Amino acid sequence: MAALRSARPLHLGGTLDLSVAGAESNVAIGLARLGHDTRWIGVTGDDELGRLVLRTLRAEGVDVTHAAVDTAAPTALVVFEPRVADVVRVAYYRTGSAGSRLTPDHLAAALAEGARVVHLTGITAALGPGPRAALETAARTGHATICLDVNHRSKLWSRAAAARVLRPLAPLLDIVVASDDELALVAPAGATTETDRVQALLDLGVGEIVVKRGAAGAEVFTGNGKVARPAVHVPVKNTVGAGDAFVAGYLSALLDGLPAAGRLHRAVTTGAFAVAAAGDWEGLPFRHELDLLDSEPGTTLR
């Protein structure tokens, strides 16, 4: 999507800063900055905003060879509005957008080339029947680790609608990423506690369940038990995109072969970079910057 960010409430008018946003593109940029070969599959409009999206991804080292351009639909838009203190309202303009016209056919060539990890989010399925079918097709990709970030957006679909779509996908997933209140949307309906939901997902064959707990850190559950990691505390400028940064760090460490503790460490580190900077993805670290947060506050690196 294109993204517009206001410095004050929208009804007061004023200027809007233009950038790009989107959970999957944030993760792709995060992985590319950490040195991984990354491909983004999606649909933009044949308009200046679509060209901005593709140009930004290319500039960040993300392969957009298989991205599609729809000449009959506009590029989607998201607007961020600060309302009071650190509360930000988000408005989506995605109905009828090019992204809502994604279908399994758009994925075929890219998936045929293969990948070590295929990363998906529930947001795609919320955009309509075509994107939902594309998500389901990608989840059935063989010879790849399938990661799903539930990423529920209440302005796009209800919890009940999300659960109806995501629960049947659980047996196809290798990694599930969710905040503690999102687990219920992918775990079987009969599981009523977090412990039960985690165990039910493990019983269905999910290898790793990663639970994001915001400022309290994160945990990963596997058949071998649980590993926890506290958050890295930094001055918070913006929390939008923190979850995507977390996922990028987690998948990066997975691709590097790190154990669960190492994966969580990198994930909370990249998440901290995101919340300490403005924008969804602009503050994401490069690999050589991962230890910057070990510096004392106020340090000047000369």
Nearest-10 crossing angle of helices 23-33, 48-59: 30
State yes or no: is 180 an active-site residue: no
Nearest-10 crossing angle of helices 242-255, 260-275: 150
Among the listed residues 70, 149, 244, 280, the single catalytic one is: 244
Distance CA 279, CA 282 (A): 6
* Element at 80 (helix H, strand E): strand 77-84
In 10 A of CB 265, how many CB atoms? 19
* Residues 54 and 67: beta-carbon distance below 8 Å: yes
Give residue for tokens 């080292």: 61
**Tokens standing for residue 55:** 């140009």
Distance CA 300, CA 10 (A): 37
Q: Please give the radius of gyration of the chain, using alpha carbons only, rounded to the nearest integer.
A: 19
Which are the catalytic amino acids?
244
